[in-house]
Chain A
């Protein structure tokens, strides 16, 4: 059995990469994919601790997270489609109407 910490390090690395993608990328599709990466990292932590304690609750929570991620992807991509229709672009820096 591997130490749980190694799974946590893997989850940390994935979350870090996802955060970097959300912060640094301008393509809104890549930003959505980075959010999926971060949700996956959270799932790894849930499953790792579920294994550590021999308790299945973490896996159920991870399943619920997957469902939330699917809904988020559907709504996010619908928003991308409608933005693309209105502005013909996927650059998130062009979407500053509510900020200005």
Chain B
């Protein structure tokens, strides 16, 4: 067993066990931490496939940005999951897992068939002479800005749309009603948009829009009692 194999099997085992832990943990924060472990193990696999730049991206984007987003949302939501899933209807779980395992075993069968039929094509690229710069930032970037330029631009547009969409979706009812009132919607139009069930006129004080937050009514002295 070569050192390469030892590293691969160790990190593959880590990836699988931490993925299992991600799916089975009850507390979402613990699950998120296990997911970070999975991402690191997958990044090691990328390095072993000589995709070094992609491994760095994996750690930066997944383990860095996306996990922070997840943990932030979990903290904001203040979810308490302990002991909530035991009292659920088991028949539904049974049904879903039945059909799920049916689909998965069918997929596995296909996998074995295809794998054994195409065995000669799945031999490793051991005799393949890789270019020394294979997988580097220069290599990937060159391809990204020439052949995949359109996809790159489309992806950037999609990210912009996702950011705007996330902000729009995550706004609270109160914020939406306040903005609609400020932009001059009539009370009838507000009601038609489903925003009118708290009095929109109360949001606009005579001296201009009052800063209304979700943390209770604003006080003249501030939340810390005025210092």
Contact = CB atoms under 8 A, between A and B. Distances in A.
Contacts of B170: 77-78, 81-82
Contact of B19 (A17, A29, A73, A91): A17
A40 B85 CA distance: 27
* Interface size grouping (class) on chain A: 35 or more
Interface in A31-49: 32-34, 36-37, 40, 43-44, 47-48
Given A48-B49, A54-B134, A63-B57, A74 B74 contact: no
Contacts of A98: none
* Interface size grouping (class) on chain B: 35 or more
B222 to A, nearest CB: 25
A84 to B, nearest CB: 5
Contact of B45 (A7, A20, A56, A66): A7
A75 B69 CA distance: 11
B42 A77 contact: no
A95 interface: no
Contacts of A50: 49, 51
B19 A90 contact: no
B73 interface: yes
A53 to B, nearest CB: 7
